[in-house]
Protein backbone atom coordinates (compact mmCIF):
# COMPACT_ATOMS: atom_id res chain seq x y z
CA UNK A 1 0.00 0.00 0.00
CA UNK A 2 1.40 3.38 -0.99
CA UNK A 3 1.72 6.22 1.48
CA UNK A 4 2.42 9.91 1.09
CA UNK A 5 5.65 11.30 2.54
CA UNK A 6 7.15 14.78 2.79
CA UNK A 7 10.94 14.75 2.41
CA UNK A 8 12.71 17.93 3.58
CA UNK A 9 16.37 18.84 3.35
CA UNK A 10 19.07 20.88 1.63
CA UNK A 11 20.79 20.52 -1.71
CA UNK A 12 23.94 22.21 -2.97
CA UNK A 13 22.78 23.97 -6.10
CA UNK A 14 25.56 26.13 -7.49
CA UNK A 15 27.62 27.42 -4.58
CA UNK A 16 24.73 27.70 -2.09
CA UNK A 17 22.84 25.12 -0.04
CA UNK A 18 19.14 25.57 -0.81
CA UNK A 19 16.22 24.09 1.13
CA UNK A 20 13.79 21.77 -0.60
CA UNK A 21 10.56 19.97 0.21
CA UNK A 22 9.29 17.08 -1.94
CA UNK A 23 6.01 15.19 -1.71
CA UNK A 24 6.71 11.54 -2.54
CA UNK A 25 4.41 8.52 -2.88
CA UNK A 26 6.15 5.34 -1.70
CA UNK A 27 5.53 2.18 0.29
CA UNK A 28 8.15 2.83 2.98
CA UNK A 29 10.14 5.71 4.43
CA UNK A 30 13.42 4.37 2.98
CA UNK A 31 11.94 4.21 -0.51
CA UNK A 32 10.69 7.80 -0.21
CA UNK A 33 14.25 8.95 0.59
CA UNK A 34 15.67 7.02 -2.38
CA UNK A 35 13.03 8.49 -4.71
CA UNK A 36 13.76 12.05 -3.50
CA UNK A 37 17.50 11.54 -4.05
CA UNK A 38 16.80 10.17 -7.53
CA UNK A 39 14.53 13.07 -8.51
CA UNK A 40 16.92 15.77 -7.26
CA UNK A 41 19.93 14.07 -8.81
CA UNK A 42 18.21 13.67 -12.15
CA UNK A 43 16.71 17.14 -12.37
CA UNK A 44 19.69 19.12 -11.05
CA UNK A 45 22.63 16.79 -11.89
CA UNK A 46 23.53 16.43 -8.20
CA UNK A 47 25.49 13.65 -6.54
CA UNK A 48 24.17 12.06 -3.35
CA UNK A 49 26.80 13.80 -1.21
CA UNK A 50 25.39 17.14 -2.43
CA UNK A 51 21.97 16.34 -0.92
CA UNK A 52 21.26 16.33 2.83
CA UNK A 53 17.94 14.88 4.05
CA UNK A 54 16.74 16.57 7.27
CA UNK A 55 13.39 14.85 7.84
CA UNK A 56 10.89 12.43 6.37
CA UNK A 57 7.29 12.66 7.56
CA UNK A 58 4.34 10.49 6.65
CA UNK A 59 1.25 12.49 5.75
CA UNK A 60 -2.04 11.33 7.24
CA UNK A 61 -4.48 9.76 4.78
CA UNK A 62 -7.66 11.77 4.46
CA UNK A 63 -10.84 9.74 4.08
CA UNK A 64 -13.27 11.16 1.58
Which CATH class name applies to 3-58? Answer: alpha beta
Please give the C-alpha separations between residue 9 and each of 14, 57, 61, 64, in angstroms, as whole numbers. Answer: 16, 12, 23, 31
Confidence of residue 57 (pLDDT cuts 50, 70, 90): very high
Domain locations in the chain as residue ranges: 3-58
Mean pLDDT of all residues in 1-13: 93
Query: Is the per-residue pLDDT at 60 higher than 90?
Result: no
- Pair 30, 36: CB distance under 8 Å: no
Q: What is residue 2's predicted lDDT score, i.e. its pLDDT? A: 86
Confidence of residue 63 (pLDDT cuts 50, 70, 90): low
Q: Is the dihedral of CA 33, 34, 39, 45 positive or negative?
A: positive
19-32 per-position pLDDT tens digit: 999 999 999 999 99
Q: In which element (H, E) is residue 39 found?
A: helix 29-44
pTM of the model: 0.86
Amino acid sequence: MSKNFVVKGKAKIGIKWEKFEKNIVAGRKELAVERALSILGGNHKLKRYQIKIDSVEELPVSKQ
